[in-house]
Amino acid sequence: MPQLESDIGRERRVYHRYALPLNFVTNSGSGDNAKDRLFNISKGGACFVSDDHFNQNDFIMLNFSTHKDMPVDEIQFSVVGKIVWVNKRSDNDAPTYGARFEIYDDPFSKQQYSQLISTINKFVSFSSAYRDN
């Protein structure tokens, strides 16, 4: 779908973004994994930096995990993402990407997405409880 001039600069976020300390790796299907940096995540997608090269409309696997020092159980989950925007600030910097989660009508996709939502909710609950004390 072409971008309309009236869409430029317009906020299109539907879900709240969270800067969660999740371990994060992308896998473009080439077999090469790159350690990446997750800026934020929501129930609908993620923003991240990667040394891998992706194009708009590419489908990639987004792999997340927690670790034992986090306030949630140790888990690993993966979600398919579609690159919806690419921002390359300079030739020396790795690009920033925006990916929308693609949830398919199969038990595995639904289970992985459920893990994502559960993890976000646990972090948000923990953060709220911590602030209230």
Is 55 contained in some domain? Answer: yes
Is 34 contained in some domain? Answer: yes
The tokens describing 72, both together, are 């949630």
Give the span between the Cα atoms of 81 and 73, in whole angstroms.
24
User: Residue 78's closest CA among 107, 106, 115?
Assistant: 115
Give me the pLDDT at residue 5, please.
45
Q: What is the pTM of this model?
A: 0.77
**Residue 26 is part of which domain span?**
14-132
**Mean pLDDT value across residues 13-33:** 74
Tell me the β-bridge partners of 37: 49
Is 5 contained in some domain? Answer: no
Is 108 contained in some domain? Answer: yes
Give the span between the Cα atoms of 23 and 48, in whole angstroms.
12
Q: How many domains does the chain have?
A: 1
Is 1 contained in some domain? Answer: no
Q: What is the CATH number of the domain that holds 49?
A: 2.40.10.220
